[in-house]
Amino acid sequence: AQSVTQLGSHVSVSEGALVLLRCNYSSSVPPYLFWYVQYPNQGLQLLLKYTSAATLVKGINGFEAEFKKSETSFHLTKPSAHMSDAAEYFCAVSDQGNNDMRFGAGTRLTVKP
């Protein structure tokens, strides 16, 4: 069964600094991979998704992620953090042909002024 592991339950960066949130996946078949963001007391919002097209995926709010099969990774990056980026971020995987999505435990991003 597919799964994801998010490295680091809490990441803290300064405003304007690079954001890097790590995600490694495990899947026996080519995966679909996703990053979601969750603000306090809200549902999940899709940031970006990889569905076997381009390996570098651009999402909303300036975020992007690169699918690296050799490293089984799908790390999320943003060149310059903004205070409004402070939230919980979840990486998720869905096997092609499957019908459920498996989420990581989440990484809380804090942005310092």
Partner 1 sequence: ETGVTQSPTHLIKTRGQQVTLRCSSQSGHNTVSWYQQALGQGPQFIFQYYREEENGRGNFPPRFSGLQFPNYSSELNVNALELDDSALYLCASSSGGPPLYEQYFGPGTRLTVT
From 43, 70, 83, 84, residue interacting with partner 1 (rule: CB under 8 A): 43
- Interface region with partner 1, contact rule CB under 8 A, candidates 18-26, 59-67, 74-82, 94-102: 94-102
Under a CB-based contact definition with an 8 Å cutoff, are residues 21 and 8 in contact? yes
- Amino acid symbol at 59: G
CA distance 26 to 2: 5
Q: How far is the CA of 74 from the CAs of 15, 16, 28, 38, 55, in angstroms?
A: 23, 22, 16, 18, 9
By CB under 8 A, residue 22 contacts partner 1:
no
From 24, 51, 72, 77, residue interacting with partner 1 (rule: CB under 8 A): 51
By CB under 8 A, residue 102 contacts partner 1:
yes
From 25, 35, 36, 74, residue interacting with partner 1 (rule: CB under 8 A): 36
- Positions touching partner 1 (CB under 8 A) are 32, 36, 41-46, 49, 51, 90, 92, 94-106
